[in-house]
Structure 1
Amino acid sequence: MRRAASTLIVVVVLAPLVPLVLWAGTRSWRYPDLLPTDGSTRGLSLIFTSETLAALLTSTAVATAVALLSCAIGLPAGRVIGLHRFRGRRLVQFLLIAPVIVPGLAVVLGLQVFFIRWGLSETVVGVALVQLVLTVPYAATILGGAFESFDLDLEHQARVLGAGPTRTTALVTIPVLAPALAASAVLTFLISWSEYVLTLVVGGGQVQTLPLLLFATVSSSDTAAAAALGVLLVVPPVVLMLTLSRLLRVRGGMLMGMARS
């Protein structure tokens, strides 16, 4: 039953990719043909152009930096939210998710002035930093939930055995919270990977990522090229999610085995 459910989920996730792949491998697809009859590799060949590869590299670098920074900031923030009860805690939680509630364009227009003054506008660093406004709340919320069930005695035991704060965090806290950290990293990576508005405004059109390149191609009415770029934009997140699911399932099985033994 579980295998059938997993197979169904995979099929549902991958099904939307089929039309994209078909469009990317054809010159035209006329109605009412069920399948395209005029095959072409032009669309798929666009994936390997210098412009596309440069956009792919930029998207990967920005999303990776955003994921790492979001987890680095979200870890201490989540610790405070999850482990401590203090006056104004609910207000802090609300302020964390406020940038997610407010439209992203409104947030970035307010920040754009500071990015221009600091020389971060139209730079990759500026794009990565502005995306933290959207991703840090998710990381802090996920890690805050993980810390609520975190056993502080594990850290106390490490400190009693002579481990300092840094070693305790590296050898105890992070391994225990690894699933939550992985989920936070993947989620923030995916948010950054598909981000368009913040990248366009702060990047000023000079920082070319895959979403920006895809929207420009869609505007040109080149369906084959747009489909090929759509495949390139969608496949890495799907692979990443399937890999994360597999790793978490393996880790969960190991923990269950250790508990039984």
Structure 2
Amino acid sequence: MGIRLKNVGWKFLMILFLILFSFPIIPLIITSFSAGWRWPEILPDQFSLRAWNYVFSPYAGTWEAIGNSIFIAITVTFVNILLCLPAANVIARMNFKGKILIEGILYAPLIIPPFITVMGIHLTFIYLGFTESLIGVMIAHIAPTLPYMLRALIISYQTIGLQWEEQASMLGAGKFNRLRFILLPHILPGIVAGSSLTILVSLSQYLITFLIGGGHVVTLPIILFPFISGGDIGIGSAYMIIFSGLALLSLWTMNTLLKRYYKARITFIG
């Protein structure tokens, strides 16, 4: 009886979550298909595919923006993993002088206002010649995304001591085998969590992409912002739906890959 009530409670919470989640999405969907929705109308008088026809037209640049957004987010994620794996290992499992200061510097992008950070990066990139380029935007995206990956990996490293690796070393396992069979399976959830946050934060960057890219690097936020800040609300709503779908797709992909990995691992061990 208790288990049944618990299941009913979880189902109720899931339904409530879906209802709350759908509230901001439903007006976006209606607006994207409307020919004009004005106050105090409850529903639009007319519906039209005008916004979606524009979004997927050849001259809108939507596919280029989606491709650039995904490419930048994935590249930044891989770079963050390579940077944070050794850094999180040292910070989580070693004690040394200046550790708190180093952590504060690495977490600084979460505290310092983004505009200040972007202006400093912009001036430096002008000197280095990285402005108005894809590689410059990708490097700039590391600043606001790296703290999320670092924190997720630090938490994962803190849950595993050095004893397992020491025992594997005594049994003859080399560095690569210890990394593959002991360390990576344990910190994989942290990698997935950090990657999900990195992708979401990178996809949503407007100010950094606008200043560093100079309008030459087009992503979804770049083409979305003008429409939702005084432009065509219908087209802006369509872009918002695409952006939300892209974010949800990235989270679903990460979750699916993690489940398949552990399922394959359990089958292999069994």
Please give the TM-score of this superposition, normalised by the length of structure 1: 0.88
Report what 1:124 is aligned to.
134
Q: How far apart, in 2, do the equivalents of 1:118 and 1:205 lie?
A: 18
Tell me the residue number matched to 2:190.
180
- Tell me, in whole angstroms, the C-alpha distance in 2 between the residues paired with 1:177 and 1:184: 11
- Aligned 8 A contact 2:56 2:62 in 1: yes
For the 8 Å contact 2:165–2:182, the answer to whether it is kept is yes
Distance 1:122 1:88, change over 3 A: same
Percent sequence identity over aligned pairs: 29
1:144 aligns with 2:151: no
Q: Over the residues paired in the alignment, what is the CA RMSD in angstroms?
A: 2.6
Counterpart of 1:21? Answer: 29
User: C-alpha offsets along residues 198-249 of structure 1, whole Å, 9 cap, x if unaligned?
Assistant: 1111111111110010112234521111111111111221333355567778
- Report the count of equivalent residues: 257
Secondary structure in structure 2 of the residue aligned to 1:136: helix
Match of 2:11 in 1: 3
The residue aligned with 2:20 is 12
Residue aligned with 1:15, SS: helix
Which of 213, 233, 236 matches 1:203? 213
Cα distance between partner residues in 2 of 1:251 and 1:53: 31
After TM superposition, the structure 1 stretch with the greater mean CA deviation from structure 2, 154-163 or 101-110, is 154-163
- Indicate conservation of the 8 Å contact 2:52/2:238, yes or no: yes
Is 1:88–2:123 an aligned residue pair? no
Q: Within 1, Cα distance between the matches of 2:44 and 2:17? A: 27
Alpha carbons of structure 1 residues 213 and 94: separation in structure 2 relative to 1, 3 Å: same
Answer yes or no: is 1:38 the counterpart of 2:74: no
For 2:220 and 2:175, how far apart are their aligned partners in 1?
40
* Structure 2 runs not aligned, ≥5 long: 1-8
> Normalised by the size of structure 2, how large is the TM-score?
0.86
The amino acid that maps onto 2:224 is: L
Deviations 1:51-87 (A, max 9, x none): 0111111011111111121122111111111111222
- The structure 2 residue matched to 1:78, chosen from 59, 69, 88, is 88
Contact persistence 1:47–1:53 (CA under 8 A): no
